[in-house]
Amino acid sequence: MTVRAKHLIPGLLMLAAMGAAAVSTPPNPTQSEPSATAQPRIKQYQSPKSAQAEDEGERVFAQNCARCHTPPDGFSPRISGTILRHMRVRANLSEHDERVLLHFFNP
Amino acid sequence: MLLHYFSCHRARFLRILSLIVAGLVAQVSTPRANAQDTPLLSGGVGFFTNTPGGNTTYYPILEPLAAVPLGQHLLVESRAALLETYSPSQSGYDHSHFIGLSYLQGDYVGSSHLTVVAGSYLLPFGTYNERLSPIWIGNFEDGPLIQSLGLLSTGIGLGGELRGNAIARRKYSIDYTTWFSARSGNSQFNAERSFGGRSSLYLPDQRLEAGLSYDRSLQDTQENFYGAHVWWEPKDTNFRLRSEFARGHHAQGYWIEADYRASAFGGPDSFLGRFEPLFRMQQTFRRDTIVSDGLPLVNTQRADLGLDYNLPHNTRILTSYSRQFSSSGNENIWETGIVYRFLFPAWRGK
């Protein structure tokens, strides 16, 4: 019991410190975006509808795919549909999620 | 003997590969295949070292993954592992190799509420086996001590699986997975007769997930296994907290893992922003002296401190130091590794 307590307490302290550091970090607008999607997204004029779909895609990505893994640095747009099919199985994505993610990957 | 063993495995492996290639060919000849549904090859290649108690084992590993969409609703996917191990012995270093399929499954995606999986699949017990075991995803080089609990010796099932969202609302969702596996002694599809399931509640605003798992072995000594997991990944931070508990007839244990990607310091692509400190705490407890589950023979505590570095081009360096405490002796475990993740179409496009 002593041994457990001895090692649990420093562990929990470090956990709390890491948690506090993370929570106090100001939101970084770029951090939740996949740094590389199928095509690098060029920040230029987008219609409100298109921008909304992209935001929705980013949200779906953060809430589903990024739960387990960080985005890859980049991939061919030719496999974006296959990746989404795989994610539909793993993350139970709906057709709507698939559509907005496809738009997010290929704006 | 070893060569013969390898030859047998290689023959089976090649047969399975030929099936995958046949799938690829079928895909090529499917007129509806659209430009974004090209079959893909992905996976990880890594080189790891593991030094428990001063003895270093080296193991290069290749984990390829293939995914082939067929038509509008079908997907065939498979992952394999090719592993070489160089471990210290009295006469220097012993060398062994392993080639095996991690899974080979066909998926029929009906809707988000129902996907039917058939074939050889990763057992969806807890979170580690299905979600964190690929070498390009896991933060630590080795899995948690309780990894084998609930995985019924091999970690794969051979049969069918149903999965999907039971409820999906904007504020919460509940997903489920249920499966039945037949018994198989085939070396590539070794599985126990068993059934089980998992259900998780996810709160997207809080980025909080909590789930329960259960499975039961239906052969020889029938045993139940129970699991629970909680993941929390606060929004707009790069902090992740994952934890899992599992209980079997003869042992139980838990792990808690925290990781933080230091992107706040100059962005994710800065020198500092590529660092990822990690911490994992684990404990296992024996409930009796019957050892059939792969957990340590005595109660064990282990603290893992890690530091990963995310290089450009999908390459990652993993390092960790662990201190393990048990009545059979305390030990230090040092681990280092480098992993490259690849992801590309199965063939060149026009």
Q: How confident is the model at residue B15 (pLDDT cuts 50, 70, 90)?
A: low
DSSP code per residue over B211-228: EEEEEEE-SSS--EEEEE
Angle B98-B220-B188 from CA coordinates, rounded to 5°: 20
**Other CB atoms within 10 Å distance of the CB of residue B340:** 16
Mean pLDDT of chain B: 90
Q: Which pLDDT score, from 0 to 100, does residue B13 have? A: 53
| Whether pLDDT at B26 is above 50 | yes
Read off the pLDDT of each residue in B311-321 and give the average, rounded to a whole number: 96
In what helix (H) or strand (E) does residue B184 lie, and over which residues does it extend? none
Q: How confident is the model at residue B283 (pLDDT cuts 50, 70, 90)?
A: very high
Q: Which pLDDT score, from 0 to 100, does residue B31 have? A: 43
pTM greater than 0.95? no
In the numeric block, the tokens 């681990």 are attached to B335
Q: Which pLDDT score, from 0 to 100, does residue B172 have? A: 95
Residue B105's SS3 state is strand
* Cβ-count burial A27-56 (b if 16+ within 10 Å, e if not): ebeebbbbbbbbeebeeeeeeeeeeebbeb
* Contact at CB, B111 and A94, closer than 8 angstroms: yes
* Contact at CB, B258 and A18, closer than 8 angstroms: yes
Q: How confident is the model at residue A3 (pLDDT cuts 50, 70, 90)?
A: very low
Q: Which pLDDT score, from 0 to 100, does residue A48 have? A: 54
Question: Which chain B residues are within 8 Å of A81, Cβ to Cβ?
Answer: 34, 36-38, 69
What is the spatial distance between Cα B280 and Cα A83, in angstroms, rounded to a whole number?
30
| Whether pLDDT at B108 is above 70 | yes
- Chains A and B form CB pairs within 8 A to the count of 162
Cβ proximity of B108 and B215 under 8 Å: no
Residue A62's SS3 state is helix
Q: Which pLDDT score, from 0 to 100, does residue A1 have? A: 41
Write out the two tokens for B218.
């239906």
Q: Encode pLDDT of A9-41 as tens digits.
A: 544 544 554 544 444 444 333 333 333 345 433
B104-345 CATH, one of 3.30.2130.10, 3.40.50.2300, 2.40.160.10, 2.40.50.140: 2.40.160.10
What distance, in Å, lies between the first and last C-alpha atoms of chain A? Answer: 57
What is the spatial distance between Cα B138 and Cα B154, in angstroms, rounded to a whole number?
19
| Of the candidates B202, B193, B324, B319, the residue with the CA atom closest to the CA atom of residue B253 | B324
Q: Encode pLDDT of B28-81 as tens digits.
A: 444 444 678 899 999 999 999 999 988 999 999 999 999 999 998 999 999 999
Question: Which chain A residues are within 8 Å of B264, Cβ to Cβ?
Answer: 25-26, 28, 31
Using the Cα atoms of residue B241, residue B228, residue B198 and residue B120 in order, give the sign of their dihedral: positive
Q: Which pLDDT score, from 0 to 100, does residue B132 have? A: 95
Q: Which pLDDT score, from 0 to 100, does residue B1 have? A: 37
Q: How confident is the model at residue B2 (pLDDT cuts 50, 70, 90)?
A: very low
Q: Which pLDDT score, from 0 to 100, does residue B306 have? A: 98
Give the minimum alpha-carbon distance from B156 to chain A in angstroms, rounded to a whole number. Answer: 16
Angle B125-B131-B136 from CA coordinates, rounded to 5°: 145
Q: Encode pLDDT of B284-295 as tens digits.
A: 999 988 877 889
| Of the candidates B60, B261, B253, the residue with the CA atom closest to the CA atom of residue B143 | B253
| Of the candidates B27, B22, B29, the residue with the CA atom closest to the CA atom of residue B38 | B27
- Check residue A20 and give left, alpha or beta (phi > 0: left; psi -120 to 50: alpha): alpha
Q: Which pLDDT score, from 0 to 100, does residue B294 have? A: 87
Q: Which pLDDT score, from 0 to 100, does residue B122 have? A: 97
DSSP code per residue over B160-175: EEEEEEEEE-SS-EEE
Q: Which pLDDT score, from 0 to 100, does residue B293 have? A: 83
Write out the two tokens for B335.
């681990």
Q: Which of A7, A18, A76 sits opposite B303 (nearest CB)?
A: A7
| Whether pLDDT at B86 is above 90 | yes
* Contact at CB, B34 and A81, closer than 8 angstroms: yes
Angle A60-B63-A104 from CA coordinates, rounded to 5°: 20
| Whether pLDDT at A104 is above 50 | yes
**Which residues, in sequence order, are CB contacts of B55 under 8 Å at separation 6+?**
B87, B88
Domain residue spans in chain B?
Answer: 104-345
Read off the pLDDT of each residue in A99-103 and give the average, rounded to a whole number: 90
| Helix, strand and coil in chain B, % to nearest 5 | 10, 55, 35
Q: Which pLDDT score, from 0 to 100, does residue A22 have? A: 44
Question: Which chain B residues are within 8 Å of A75, Cβ to Cβ?
Answer: 343-344
Highest mean predicted confidence (pLDDT) among B180-189, B235-244, B299-308: B299-308
Residue A84's SS3 state is helix
* Contact at CB, B268 and A14, closer than 8 angstroms: no
What is the spatial distance between Cα B258 and Cα B278, in angstroms, rounded to a whole number?
6
Read off the pLDDT of each residue in B94-120 and give the average, rounded to a whole number: 95
Q: Which pLDDT score, from 0 to 100, does residue B53 have? A: 86
Q: Which of A18, A25, A69 sits opposite B264 (nearest CB)?
A: A25
Q: Which of A7, A8, A35 sits opposite B269 (nearest CB)?
A: A35
